[in-house]
Structures are given as structure tokens and as C-alpha cells.
Amino acid sequence: MIALKLKEVFGLESINDLPLSFDIGWYEQKAVAVLLALLHLGVKGIRLGPTLPAFVSPAVLDVLVKNFDIKLITEPKADVAAIMQGNKQPAGAGDSHPAPALPHHS
């Protein structure tokens, strides 16, 4: 809700125009609720990993990548550098790429 208000106050067209980055680790089941809430708000470019829960099939991951620009968590230094530059993907990564092959947690 705070991000939506900031978008309004600054007169931005999208919540994605705010200087925010989200990295979600799948260490607790709460991560699913957080991800769904962010997707509902229209947030794109979220990093997920280092593993995905078993219910995220390759087909589901493909939809998340294509529609929400979901990215793989990479090396901390590369991710932080990209975030600090205002990029939502690590330096050197291409703009168009297939769904990342993320390891699954069973």
C-alpha cells in the first residue's frame, strides 16, 4: 500500500517506476504470499531463488518470466550491483531470455 501511495504522490504511471527491487528467497512458505501480493500489485522484475518450491512447474515459471519478468537470483555482488544501478537484472544479462532453469526444492 505504501508503494501505491508513493506512485500516486510522485505522479508515476506504474509501481515499477519506483526505485524498488525485490529478491524473494524460498526459505519459508510465507514467500508464496509475498510473491502473490507483489504480482497482484503489478510489480515486475522480481528475483526468485535460490531454489523454487516443487509446485512451480516449468510451464508456471515460463508464464511468470514472460508476464512478470521474473529473474533468477544470481551472485549477491552481481545482484546488488544491478540493483544499485537501477537495473533489475545482473550486469551483462540480456534483455530477452528464456525462462531460467531454476533448481526446485522438494
Cell 510451464, residue located: 59
Whole-number Å distance between alpha carbons of 76 and 32: 22
For the chain, domains (ranges, CATH) are: 19-105 (3.40.50.2030)
The helices-and-strands tally (H runs, E runs) of the chain is 4, 5
Whole-number Å distance between alpha carbons of 84 and 80: 6
What spatial distance separates the first Cα and last Cα of the chain, rounded to whole Å? 33
Helix (H) / strand (E) containing 33: helix 30-40
pLDDT tens for the chain, 106 residues: list them. Answer: 788 899 999 999 999 898 888 888 777 778 888 899 999 999 998 988 888 777 788 899 899 999 999 888 888 898 888 778 775 544 444 444 444 555 555 5
